[in-house]
């Protein structure tokens, strides 16, 4: 009898140890620890990836309101880009058509209240070879701007996220200025409800269109739902790219040949929680979407801020946090050819 009781106690203890071990492993598990064979970790830190035009480098930020760095995709070598001059920190970095960088950061950063300046970022241009301070432009944006990969056009959402402007960068006497500025979309002028918002994303490759995100929800929370749209820059016509309603579908990086758009979406889960993962949206008229990541199964994580390489073969994805919109730690590369072979 004593032997049987002792064996039972041992079995219970072993079972409890196994359960505790599984719980501990689940708590310590992150998307970076459990990637499929078509994904690799480029960095286990860093956020907001952006490809260089030749595909050699990925620019990134260690955190919001910080310096810009870049990593050689082939060798893993990391170089600082903006530490040679003083500034208030940057939130965005984008590669211009000529290889210069468009930066977005606040005029004044208050560490005691870091997010108050997030929606009013001063645009500036950092010229190659990145050995001098950036040149400020007479423009302020809310969230991320858009850059053309074929000419000097940029587009940006004005603070308040109700209007989008477009302009051209002109280089003269070592200076860079914005010319031909114009408002290309105004929700106020269209009498769209005041709770609705805008965010620029990309110029549509090969067409005179701009890709942007249209947000809507409630007066208290305008960002519950979102859809990617295109704006015809000649006619002003808007076209919705998805066929869903009351889903969060935020436009992200577009393929260089215009064949697909990456989207942050919560269509797989409970809405109004921003449990987004990356989807691939075909731009062939079918509006077909396929899920590329399932990182929201890890508590506190999601996949976001994806960008496509210039050759269209690789996607850089941020390992995103649920706390802090757009924030994350870690950059993963997804090989599209290997992904297609795995299906």
Cis peptide before 213 (omega within 30 of 0): no
- Residue 109: other Cβ atoms inside 10 A: 16
Segments making up each domain of the chain, as ranges: 88-186, 193-291
Q: How far apart are CA 247 and CA 271, in angstroms?
A: 7
pLDDT tens per residue, range 2-26? 555 555 545 444 444 333 333 334 4
**Mean pLDDT of all residues belonging to the chain:** 92
Q: Residue 127: name the closest of 90, 157, 98, 158 by CA.
A: 98
Q: Of 13-22, 112-121, 207-216, 316-325, where does mean pLDDT reach its minimum?
A: 13-22
Q: How far apart are CA 55 and CA 308, in angstroms?
A: 10
pLDDT band at 325 (very low <50, low <70, confident <90, very high): confident
Q: How far apart are CA 277 and CA 97, in angstroms?
A: 29
pLDDT, mean of residues 299-323: 95
pLDDT band at 287 (very low <50, low <70, confident <90, very high): very high
**Residue 185 confidence (pLDDT):** 98
Q: Of 131-135, 159-163, 243-247, 288-292, where does mean pLDDT reach its minimum?
A: 243-247
Q: Residue 328: name the closest of 28, 83, 23, 32 by CA.
A: 32
pLDDT at 200 over 90: yes
How far are the Cα atoms of 131, 247, 248 from residue 196, in angstroms, in the given order?
41, 14, 13
**Residue 170 confidence (pLDDT):** 98
């Amino acid at each position: 009898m004593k032997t049987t009781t002792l064996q039972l106690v041992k079995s219970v203890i072993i079972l409890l140890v196994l359960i505790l071990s599984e719980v501990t492993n689940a708590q310590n598990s992150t998307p970076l620890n459990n990637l499929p064979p078509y994904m690799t970790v480029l960095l286990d830190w860093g956020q907001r990836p952006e490809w260089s035009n030749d595909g050699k480098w990925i620019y990134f930020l260690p955190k919001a309101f910080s310096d810009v760095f870049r990593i050689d995709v082939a060798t893993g070598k990391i170089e600082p880009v903006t530490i040679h001059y003083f500034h208030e920190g940057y939130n965005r970095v984008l590669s211009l058509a000529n290889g210069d960088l468009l930066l977005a950061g606040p005029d004044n950063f208050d560490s005691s209240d870091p997010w108050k300046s997030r929606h009013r970022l001063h645009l500036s241009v950092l010229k190659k070879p990145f050995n001098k301070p950036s040149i400020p432009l007479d423009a302020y944006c809310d969230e991320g701007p858009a850059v053309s990969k074929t000419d000097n056009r940029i587009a940006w959402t004005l603070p308040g996220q109700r209007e989008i402007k477009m302009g051209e960068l002109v280089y003269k006497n070592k200076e860079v200025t914005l010319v031909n500025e114009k408002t290309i979309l105004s929700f106020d002028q269209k009498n769209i409800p005041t709770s609705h918002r805008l965010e620029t994303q990309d110029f549509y490759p090969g067409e005179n269109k701009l890709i942007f995100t249209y947000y809507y929800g409630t007066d208290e929370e305008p960002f519950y739902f979102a859809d990617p749209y295109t704006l015809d820059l000649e006619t002003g016509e808007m076209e919705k790219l998805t066929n869903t309603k009351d889903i969060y579908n935020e436009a992200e990086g577009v393929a260089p040949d215009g064949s697909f758009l990456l989207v942050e979406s919560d269509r797989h889960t409970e809405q109004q929680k921003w449990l987004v993962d990356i989807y691939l949206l075909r731009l062939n008229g079918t509006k077909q979407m396929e899920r590329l990541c399932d990182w929201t199964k890890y508590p506190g994580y999601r996949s976001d801020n994806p960008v496509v390489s210039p050759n269209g073969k690789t996607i850089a994805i941020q390992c995103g946090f649920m706390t802090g919109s757009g924030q994350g730690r870690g950059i993963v590369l997804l090989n599209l050819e290997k992904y297609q072979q795995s299906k």
